[in-house]
Structure 1
Amino acid sequence: MENVPAPLWIAACAHRLQQQWHTVDPLELEDVARDLWRDERLRTLSPEAAAVEWLRPITE
């Protein structure tokens, strides 16, 4: 989603990751989300979809 500013995309992605991992420090999840944003393929997805895609091996 190229029209979403990076800080907003990262925050939304971190929020979605928090739904999966309630006990992980939110700042760590924000770091993970930032790494996901750096992945060109994941960055083209919505933040929620990118988180779900990244979590797929864990949740299957």
Structure 2
Amino acid sequence: MPLEQWVASCAKQLKCHWRTVDPDQLEELAADLARDARLRAMHPISAALTWQEPVLPSDDAKQGV
């Protein structure tokens, strides 16, 4: 998946959890996550959920919310 598309998809998933955060900040965060080779190798939604695991309620992490 092209980097721009990966970042956009990851940012969209991050927005599902942090609805009040500025979308530009979420794009920056997604771009930072893309620099992590382990996360970049994942689907962007999986990468966002993996990164969010420490702060997500366990039900949300399992459901992909």
Q: TM-score, normalised by structure 1?
A: 0.93
Q: Which residue number corresponds to residue 9 of structure 1?
A: 6
Q: TM-score, normalised by structure 2?
A: 0.86
Higher relative contact order (CA 8 A, sep 6+): 1
% identical aligned pairs: 46
Kindly report structure 1 stretches of 4+ aligned residues shifted beyond 4 Å.
none
Gaps of at least 5 residues in structure 2 are 58-65
Gaps of at least 5 residues in structure 1 are none
More helix by share: 1
Count the aligned residue pairs: 57
Q: RMSD in angstroms over aligned alpha carbons?
A: 0.6
